[in-house]
Structure 1
Amino acid sequence: MTSVPGRRSSTFTRLLRHGFTHPAAAERLLDLPEMAPVRTDSVLLDALGATADPDLALRGLVRLVEAQQPDERQVLLDTLLSAKPLRDRLLGVLGASEALGDHLARHPHDWQALVMYEASDLHPGVDDFERGLAEATDPVSLRVAYRRCLLSIAARDVCGTTDVAQTAAELADLATATLRAALAIARTDAPEDAAACRLAVIAMGKCGGHELNYVSDVDVIFVGEQASESVDESTAVKAATRLASHLMRICSETTVEGAIWPVDANLRPEGRNGPLVRTLSSHLAYYQRWAKTWEFQALLKARPVAGDPDLGAEYVEAVSPLVWQAAERENFVPDVQKMRRRVVDNIPVAHIDRELKLGPGGLRDVEFAVQLLQLVHGRSDPTLRSGSTLEALRALAAGGYVGRADAAQLGEAYRFLRSMEHRIQLYRLRRTHLVPEGEEDLRRLGRSLGLRADPVAELDKEWRRHGSVVRRLHEKLFYRPLLDAVAQLAPGETRLSTQAARQRLEALGYADPAAALRHLEALSSGVSRKAAIQRTLLPVLLGWFADSADPDAGLLGFRQVSDALGKTPWYLRLLRDEGAAAENLARVLSAGRLAPDLLLRAPEAVALLGDPEGLKPRGRDHLEQEVLAAVGRADGAEAAVASARAVRRRELFRTAAADLIGSYGTEENPAEQDPGALVDRVGNAVTDLNAATIAGALRAVVRERWGDELPTRFAVIGMGRFGGHELSYGSDADVLFVHEPRDGDDEHEAAQAAATVVAEMRRLLQLPSSDPPLLIDADLRPEGRNGPLVRTLASYAAYYRRWSLVWESQALLRAEPMAGDAELGARFIELVDPLRYPADGLGEEVREIRRLKARMETERLPRGADPTLHTKLGRGGLSDVEWTVQLLQMRHGCSEPGLRTTRTRSALAAARDAGLLSPEDAEILDEAWVLATRVRNGVMLVRGRAGDTFPSEAKELAAVGRYLGYGQGHVGEMVDEYRRATRRARAVVERLFYGA
């Protein structure tokens, strides 16, 4: 058959349609005389078109046919045309592997190994492969027999008879049989050595794990012993070393039939520098004294495969306990993580994007993550002790150590990447893990994986998709904070047996071990997945709870949250998988009452603890937008304000949790340990939250009574700590209310509407509910409690012009618009600026301010309170610092713009920068103010209610100490430090405020 010049023949067109990329060359091959019986057969073209590379398959078939004797050739072709199973197997191999095509051309009878599979041959084991290698008596015949067995494995692989895991297991079994055959040849060649020693070959790495590649180093360790007491140890070890060396040469050396694979013994003790063969006792001595972390990780896959079976079993039995104790080594988890990073760092830059095995998102990422989880959790769970990556991954998922969805995705990605690796190596039977760059190679690879529409583009898409999954899950699992914490537990602490748990609870300082045990039993008993995950979490959580003043409260809180979220699928997954969620929850639950109470009212807020961004405070604009949206969806004013208060509860929890966790400090964010930063963050967050809540209440009332618009302009002015952005968790919101009728508004109606809004807002925000109330305090208004709750701007102007006292001007230093009409709020600030920053400074008013402060100190300090420990009114406390700063603001604010701020610390810094006080004095006052504020915040967090002095109850006092950074037993040091800081501040106040 010849093609007509200038025209495409029908065969040419059919070849194109069947996936041939060189149809002209294929036509020429089909025109050969040897191919006459099959050249017009459409079945053959269909079968060729189904292969990974039809051109390669046809070339291999022609070579095989040409290598046959004439009578044999006809048998081959007749069988090929009549037997579909053979046709698919033979052509499938020829289209995927040029190397196996070469083998068949050299050994043309080996195709008959593919003629028939018995049921028992579909998944052969070591015994089957040993029979296939039985006639091999020298290295050359062993290579031929090995390739013949490999041919059958490849045929099952490319035809889909076996999946990637079964193929890898068969390759490992063939390697086992080959090592045994090679050792038998070595023994035959050196019978004296064979008689002098016992030699066991231990498979490591992928061979040991039953997950070998087509072409890979076969990692082994050799163990030798005397064959009898009549042979001394030194003689036996030397004999065993000669046998082992001979075995390695048989497998590794290149002959006319090529090589089988390198046998690599570098995982032995001391690596290349150590003796090739050691006795069992020598191995153990090394592992017990000198072995590095990675060596125990490697031993995870150790499996006896050849030589003396009893000695091999003894070796694995002896080293296995050491493997499962490795996680107890100091810095075990960080060491494994560093080792993985080193592997990536050593990849040549030119290869990193093509590296299928070692690169980011590659096979090593899966294997390292799985092995690390195995070594940490496998100490107490024998079900995890598999050398196979996929089997171990299934066990980790079944035991609750890895999420089922994560395990499924990771397993799917691993299978795909291993399939890529297999098909890349199968082509030329070369050891490589680099994805090819050539178009034809990529096309063959894609088609071999079943990607046919656009093989190259589809392959790239699938590879990138699976690599991205691997990288994401590797980061999630391999760097999971919980792992290091579990690894640091003592061996008996990873299982919650009753006796061991009780002893540990007592040792950790739980006051009521019996009650704690009941909680543990309730949380972890049973065979459910939930209980399995709890059994992983609880041993670690117990230690974190113990690092607090009240471990019992932490465990009780954890049980309550777990009960509330027991049927929520994401809860335990979050604690196990996401960042520092579990440790964060432990810190929050064991630090006091406020945060757990907020959390138990809305347990779903625990999700905030697993999001790296979850503990960052949200800005006022964001909060106000969410609150107003919730109000807009609600049916009625009460429901609307309830929605706003629910947002406030969640955000209070966010702020409290961040405060508690930040007080522990983190290596990643040491700035969080700065007390001033923590104080500012709390003050700003609670202020923004209360402002947004008030805005929501205002919108709810207006919408309920008047629809879209109130019949007057209305603004809420923050005062006191609210205006100063210095609120604590339980602070009231000091405010002034101002309104102004618009042109055309009825003044009486406007006044009535404004009064109604104020009354209704205050009522709604204080309705009994599970959410914390927001108390609005308007006592700083003109005439105090005797004056109207709301005034017009003109009324404020008239009052301040005629009646204002110096304390009112001082109070206005904190005035800042918080809600309502922004333009009206700005005009109110313009009105009061001359009062709070008088142009002439202060004259006789200074004496009045000092008199008021002295009177407050004597009259308002609670009876019996220790003046050295009262955070608000005590010596060197909040009031001392704030009045000193405010005096400077009123004296110099007109001429120093930096002092025109409502915030104490900002004003203090501005006064320092303006030279109004020394840097040392500013630092002393700032330190005392921050410390007093933190004590107040700590008391609220610990007790769940506000307080201005240290708690008297020992456990609560210790919890405040822990919040302030003082460890167990250092409460007295905390109190002394507070007295010292405030005493120094009082000395500055005496000088600067009182002029002493």
Structure 2
Amino acid sequence: MSTPPLDALTDSHWHDWLTWAETQGLSPPADPAFATMRQRVWEASEYVAITAARHPAEFAELLASGDLAHTYAPGDLAQRLAARLADVTDEATLHTALRRFRRREMLRIIWRDLAHLAPLDETLEDLSELADVCIRGALDQLYPWACAEFGTPHDTSGRPLQLLVLAMGKLGARELNLSSDIDLILAYAQPGTLDGGRRALTYEQFFVRLGQRLVQALANQTVDGFVFRVDTRLRPFGEVGPLAMSFQAMEDYYQSQAREWERYAMIKARPVAGDPDDIDQLMTMLRPFVYRRYLDFGAFESLRELKRLIAKELYRRGMDANIKLGPGGIREIEFIGQAFQLVRGGRDPALQVRPIRAVLALLAQRDLMPAEAVAQLDAAYVFLRLVENRLQAYRDQQTHRLPDDGPGQLRLARAMGYADWAAFAVDLDAHRRRVQEQFDAVFALPTTETEVEDAPLSAVWQGDRDPAHELDLLARAGFTDSEQVRTRVQQFRDACVRKGLSTRGHERLSLIMPHVLCVAAGCAHPDLALERVLRVMEAIVRRSAYLAMLAEHPLILTHLIQLSSLSPWFADQIGRHPLLLDELLDPRRLYAPLRRESLEAELDALLVPVTADDLEQQMERLHQFAQGNQLRVAAADLTATISLMVVSDYLTEIAEVAVRRVFALSHAHLMARHGQPTDSSGADSGFLVLGYGKLGGIELGYGSDLDLVFLHGSDTVTAMTDGAKAISNEQFYARLGQRMIHMMTTRTPSGQLYEVDMRLRPDGAKGLLVRSLKSFAHYQADNAWTWEHQALVRARPVAGDPQLAAQFAEIRRAILCCERDPAHLKREVREMRHKMRTTLDQSSAERFDLKQGAGGIADIEFMVQYAVLRWAAQHPVLTDWTDNVRLLDTLARLDLLPGQCAQDLTDAYKSLRAAYHRSALRAQPKSVAAAELRPERERVRALWQELMDD
């Protein structure tokens, strides 16, 4: 049974249409479902009721076409408008055609929304598409008319320049509501002067006039109404700025004069008209303005302040019932999404999307917000946007205010599917309350901001109390040398003043520094911890984004101080590369280093936004990847979350993933320029990267360099690549190797990826950078020294062609399995070790060199290498591994070493390696006090004498 109508007037409008239909021999569908939908739509939208009565033929056509019941296919609207505009000859007829087209489509969209035939996403998409096609349709007519009148603007290459239209706000995100204005910014690629018309015009004058005509075509009120209200005040300089600006003028503005809120607005900027090349150029220029490459926690502070201003304005106007701007409204949901986008979008390009529901989904996927909270926000957004559309559908007016009269409340409730206002209000209030709770949680003031006045050590930072009182506070807090600590804090505070820190910077330090003092005081060595973290603070104090991050997330400070107290290396890394502070944000990630598959995925995400020809950014992202992951390994290592043997595994995998990506990027670059080498063996690239030393042995430490050897599969001297700019295979592979070394070793603002040592290649530093696999095999068989075969024990492929890798494995096995004279082999290994110790051992009476000292790591490595070369001919399984621990385990299983020799060497090796890692993290020489590890060292020396000196 149908519900009695609320308004007899709107019902009379239906009778008006029926009367007209009868005269035309028409009748509405007899389907009862249609009658129910019609009554619901007429009750909820006076606009539809009146429009159908005034333009009955349009509604009749909608009924006859079946469009009310169907979803449009992509491109339908554009085709329909093109047909409407086919006979347009001037601006007057253009205005009329656009308005009548809009009126028909609005009837359809509102009907489908109110009749519950279209979900919210379809309604928003249809409205946005309607605006897009109207903008483009109008411009397609206006631009040639303007060119005919004034002349056509061209760029320096002679290409005609077009007006570029950026949609902002809800249209930019394709989330337009039923009676929204559209926010537009107009631009053009290059300045210039037109001289083909009746009088000379600058390009700015041309495009401003074109823009004015576009705005008039869309927004002017005529007897047929309007198409869309247009707001152009989001453009640079607002209302006082030119309506259209050149890209260069826009870039200058956004780099030097744009305000913070303009960054938020630009999140949703979407080109809807313009030349594709111009669009790419403009969006590439704007992206760094919106998305910073660091985690920009200043966004929380700014959005928090913007929300305060909005709330203050609403309170002044008494507009708490505003579902867009009021408490728990649509804007708060958008602010939550925008905050995470601005903070993380530069590091995570996936967040650089416009629709808020897509952003919310990503927040859940990336665990940036609890899935339940995101689900609540998404449900609230859908509910509130439906309410917004139902409010605006009533009279096609841009309103967000809930009705306060009984009939209006009942009308809205029934349009939303509720029997009465009370039932509707319960759900509305619940959604708004949940939004408010999530908003307050996301934008809550950092803990230190509310506690700083009560923090005892804040007086030490402020330095405005009696020195004796400050010294007493420091002593009671746990600092050893209170006077030295007070002096150091004062020096840092004075340095901040000299550096001209902003007022906001000083405010942030007032939040941060008492917390720094408090956490440092709780460390095992508080004075040392404070000194180390102050060095980090000195490196970042002028960079407001990092101060904002620390102020917003005191937990980052806690991790920084505690880990720095354990390792000066950790503090030095952060000080040199403050971008690494980002890694301290999430303890789950900080103390859980990634394995190979996850490392690959993270590096993929970092490199996605970088173009193939942007070598500098490729290197920056690779550095960021390696440094961040090495920092996580160190954090887990320092807190004993992972064991020694796993530390090297993690560090080696980071290096392998980085080397493989450097190879892939370098190879792709050369392939694009020169094509693929021909007549080269291998499954794809014909190039192989070998890891020697610690990389080959899966034993990398902090700061280890990479021992690499490059091989290729081409044996024909005359073979060439197959590209347009063909070069010889030899040249191709040499350039490939050179580019890889350049990418890994060149220092950029973020440092260096890795030190690379190529001296283990055939003929050492005098040899070719890249050798063919066949010549490598000949060299190893005929010319290599014993120490080069020792090095081969630890060699393995780390990147490149899998077929060449298999061929190398066969060559390596064959070389290592050669029969050798044991006495001759032992003498050569022993002599080489003696030479190394003589030239490299840094041991003294007070310190023991962990690697080169007698009884150190190198002695163990040489004994293992000797054993492999000595017995591999009889036991080829010894060639299966490249790392010392598994090789010693294999030697033990084969019973090739006497007694507990293998186990003793393994235990000593692990102890020495652990000390080696600790020394690196303490930023100390790789040595220990002469008394440390003495039993392990003595056992290694004894085994050396037993195995190598007889």
TM-score, normalised by the number of residues in structure 2:
0.46
> In terms of Rg, which structure is larger?
1
TM-score, normalised by the number of residues in structure 1:
0.44
